[in-house]
Structure 1
Amino acid sequence: MTFDIKVFNNISEEGLKQFDDSLYTINQTQNPDALLLRSKKLHDMTFSEHTIAISRAGAGTNNIPVDRCTKDGIVVFNTPGANANAVKELVLANLLLSARPILKSAQWVQTITDDNVEEIVEAEKKSFVGTELEGKKLGVIGLGAIGAMVANDAYRLGMEVMGYDPYVSVDTAWNISRRVKRVTDLDELLSTSDYISLHVPLMEKTHHLISTEELKKMAPEAVLLNFSRGELVDNNAVLQALADEEIAGYITDFAEKSLLGHEKITVLPHLGASTEEAEINCARMSVRTLKNYLETGNIKRSVNFPTVEMSFNTEFRLAVFHENVPNMIGAISNIIADAKYNIDNLSNRSRGDVAYTLIDLDHVTEDQAQELAEELKSLSHVIRVRHIKNLQRKDY
């Protein structure tokens, strides 16, 4: 058995070398078992019926047709947190750059042609007076992996930090300093922050999260930072708010023509995760996640199916994707019982309208496991069924 992986973009070799040559091939067929990518847009792609997984070396999955994948039983993975430190450092750097005119002053010094450089800079440095971050208020919208790190380190810089995230997970909450003030009212954060940094995923309900109404609530001296997704911010509203002096500046990692050339807007060329370390971390995590699913059926870090992990101790297991409707476990179990096979272990979880069930079968052959998989596919509400051979078992 081998799995063929279709690789798009420049995925770090540190990740790709985790694929065992005896089990995996790269870009060898037109019907890959899985896709591995970074920024490749897949919305117009027709997927092979053999494709069962897509793994993105990064957090956002806007370049993947997740809903279509869900309907086809294709698991979509991402790598939350793998590039968090890189983005955090870039956010902190831009906080500092927004407080002090470092770049502008450095560029000015390079224009001096007279010999008395020291005298000139001493006379003109008053033109580049900035402010300090210590004592200023930072509002962090979204307290996931990146937002939590930004909040914690901004506090260590002496800032007063507020965090807003009605959906923060328990695991993330443990990582947030108790000195970071949690607010439940977004308006409070908008109206009292000197700096506001966005760290939420792009979804229908977060599209243009910051628009005209929100910008009017911000202080005239406030600076907005967006290192999450460009579409979170209504750029036209930002341009108008700057013209009306409702905010002091906008810093974004997402270039758009309308934002270029504005003295109060800093635009970066999507540098958030552009570090050697982040690219390696994302590649390694995406490959590990993909291998775990292909070889065991275990799902972790999926954006469209529930997390299901179960020790694989039998020779074969069935992985059943199905709609989240009543009595599916009973219907699946009845088919296995009618075939007179024993279930050694079973795990089921749901996520919205879909569910995923892992079933370990005791003392069955590969042909028998395949026959069961085919029979389960005929059940109403079943989306996809895999039968998986335990590659670690050598005793059969």
Structure 2
Amino acid sequence: MHQIKTFNAIAPEGMARLEKEKYAINESEQPEGIILRSKKLQESELPDSVLGVARAGTGVNNIPVDLCTEKGIVVFNTPGANANAVKELVLMSLLLSVRPVIRGINWLQQVTGSDVEEQAEAHKKQFAGRELEGKKLGVIGLGSIGAMVANDAYRLGMEVMGYDPYVSVDTAWSISRRVHRAKEISEIFTSCDFITVHVPLQEKTFHLIGQKEIAMMKNSAQLFNFARSEIVDNSAVIEAIEADELAGFTTDFADEKLLHHDHITVLPHLGASTAEAETNSAKIAVRTLKKFIETGVIKRSVNFPPVEMAFHSPYRITIINRNVPNMLGQISAVIADSEINIDNMINRGRDDYAYTLVDIDENDERKIADVVEKLRATDDIIRVRVIKKEEVPY
């Protein structure tokens, strides 16, 4: 029985993919897998039993990824599962930034008398806005969300410019050819009327947009942050808005110093808060973690390389090791010395670590246990696991 621990409410449509005959949920403090959303895992002890952690969402700032990597714990996320939800919120915010709809609605709620219609007609000019059509939108980061925002903004009649030096081939195919490519990020800052950022939070993207970048923007520009709070220097934004050097800022991340400022809109982290996004994220997180536990296959990991191999042999050995020379030779030698045939083998490295799948033509569990013990005693090998191929009923 595989033990799984959950934090936060995980959509039942996802959890239903874990068969009751094979998986026990929240019945042990020594789980093989953890599924979570916003829980800060840094505040919890990670038992040695944990093989993988699946985040039902994109960001993994609430997971101690470096610690997990050192312990041989694979961390998964669900990129793209909430992309449509975030895209729709960004488009809504773009529209609200040029049309004071909410202010108009709130005003009308205070109107009294039998001539409401006449009052509305008389005062509607104070809520006149502008149109997005013909305006220029800059999209920084063309991943799942950024690409969708760029495509749909173009369909709204906007001129769209995108910047992403690391855009994937799959994403490149999905982006409209009418989205102009910026060769330098400065092109976005200097030429766009609206700028929206969709990059992951990393050391190099911390305060990607600060005082220097805001100074390049038009005084009439509007800035949007639906990626991560720390990507934008909020203090620099406030200074620019108070000096009339930036027209507006909309963010999905609550920060006390951003509240109660004219021309700053703060949303309570609503990006992925739709029933559809939560369901999609849960389904992908569960499916990914389940595949890893049952077959050792890694997909959508943030700390280990993707590794897939068809599983046809009686047993599979999975190995996490430091990415040093001659590890494959040592692994193969240990298995060969035990007179076990290797049916298939695949190895992939990522930075300082590597992951190997070895399928063996052997059914003697004592011989396999001996091989595992020798592998675990090998320098630079962090984790070894044996998976028995499940018999599929016909």
TM-score by length of 1: 0.98
Corresponding residue for 2:170? 171
Moved more, 361-370 or 209-218: 361-370
User: Contact between 2:294 and 2:387, CA under 8 Å: does it hold in 1?
Assistant: yes
Corresponding residue for 1:7? 6
Aligned mates of 2:292, 2:152 — CA distance in 1: 35
Aligned-partner residue type, residue 209 of structure 1: L
Corresponding residue for 2:315? 316
Residue 212 (structure 1) shift: 0.5
Match of 1:39, SS state, is coil
User: Contact between 1:318 and 1:369, CA under 8 Å: does it hold in 2?
Assistant: no
Say if 2:149 is the partner of 1:159: no
User: Contact between 1:315 and 1:393, CA under 8 Å: does it hold in 2?
Assistant: no
The percent of aligned pairs where both chains have the same amino acid is: 57
Aligned mates of 1:220, 1:380 — CA distance in 2: 59
Corresponding residue for 1:210? 209
Corresponding residue for 1:86? 85
User: Contact between 2:6 and 2:25, CA under 8 Å: does it hold in 1?
Assistant: yes
Match of 2:111, SS state, is coil
User: Contact between 2:346 and 2:356, CA under 8 Å: does it hold in 1?
Assistant: yes
Aligned mates of 1:347, 1:172 — CA distance in 2: 27
Corresponding residue for 1:136? 135
Given the superposition, is the C-alpha separation of residues 173 and 392 from structure 1 closer, same or farther in structure 2, using an over 3 Å criterion? farther
Residue 392 (structure 1) shift: 3.3
Matches of residues 259-274 of structure 1 in structure 2 within 5 Å? 259-274=258-273
Residue 363 (structure 1) shift: 2.4
User: Contact between 1:16 and 1:283, CA under 8 Å: does it hold in 2?
Assistant: yes
Match of 1:197, SS state, is strand
Corresponding residue for 2:65? 66
Matches of residues 1-396 of structure 1 in structure 2 within 5 Å? 2-392=1-391
Query: After superposition, what is the alpha-carbon deviation per residue over 1:244-270, rounded to whole angstroms, capped at 9, x for unaligned?
Result: 111100000001111111111001100
Query: After superposition, what is the alpha-carbon deviation per residue over 1:293-342, rounded to whole angstroms, capped at 9, x for unaligned?
Result: 00000000000000000000011100000111111111100111111110
Aligned-partner residue type, residue 234 of structure 2: N
Residue 129 (structure 1) shift: 1.1
Aligned-partner residue type, residue 59 of structure 1: T
Aligned-partner residue type, residue 66 of structure 1: V
Match of 1:105, SS state, is helix
Aligned mates of 2:235, 2:366 — CA distance in 1: 61
User: Contact between 1:3 and 1:33, CA under 8 Å: does it hold in 2?
Assistant: yes
User: Contact between 1:319 and 1:385, CA under 8 Å: does it hold in 2?
Assistant: yes
Aligned-partner residue type, residue 390 of structure 1: K
Q: Which aligned runs of 4 or more in structure 1 are off by greater than 4 angstroms?
A: none
Aligned mates of 2:171, 2:279 — CA distance in 1: 23
Aligned mates of 2:2, 2:229 — CA distance in 1: 36
Aligned mates of 1:266, 1:84 — CA distance in 2: 21
User: Contact between 1:342 and 1:362, CA under 8 Å: does it hold in 2?
Assistant: yes
Residue 369 (structure 1) shift: 2.3
Aligned-partner residue type, residue 39 of structure 2: K
User: Contact between 2:192 and 2:221, CA under 8 Å: does it hold in 1?
Assistant: yes
Aligned-partner residue type, residue 347 of structure 2: N
User: Contact between 2:338 and 2:367, CA under 8 Å: does it hold in 1?
Assistant: no
Aligned mates of 1:347, 1:392 — CA distance in 2: 23
Aligned mates of 2:89, 2:365 — CA distance in 1: 51
User: Contact between 1:341 and 1:364, CA under 8 Å: does it hold in 2?
Assistant: no
Match of 1:43, SS state, is helix
Segments of structure 2 that go 5 or more residues without pairing to the other structure are none
Aligned mates of 1:87, 1:74 — CA distance in 2: 29
Residue 394 (structure 1) shift: 7.1
Query: After superposition, what is the alpha-carbon deviation per residue over 1:86-131, rounded to whole angstroms, capped at 9, x for unaligned?
Result: 0000000110110111111111111111221222111111111111
User: Contact between 2:137 and 2:160, CA under 8 Å: does it hold in 1?
Assistant: yes
Residue 162 (structure 1) shift: 0.6
Aligned-partner residue type, residue 334 of structure 1: A
Aligned-partner residue type, residue 325 of structure 1: V
Aligned mates of 1:356, 1:103 — CA distance in 2: 52
Aligned mates of 1:205, 1:392 — CA distance in 2: 47
Aligned mates of 2:391, 2:190 — CA distance in 1: 57
User: Contact between 1:38 and 1:58, CA under 8 Å: does it hold in 2?
Assistant: yes
Aligned mates of 2:10, 2:102 — CA distance in 1: 32
Match of 1:118, SS state, is helix
Residue 393 (structure 1) shift: 5.4
Given the superposition, is the C-alpha separation of residues 344 and 25 from structure 1 closer, same or farther in structure 2, using an over 3 Å criterion? same
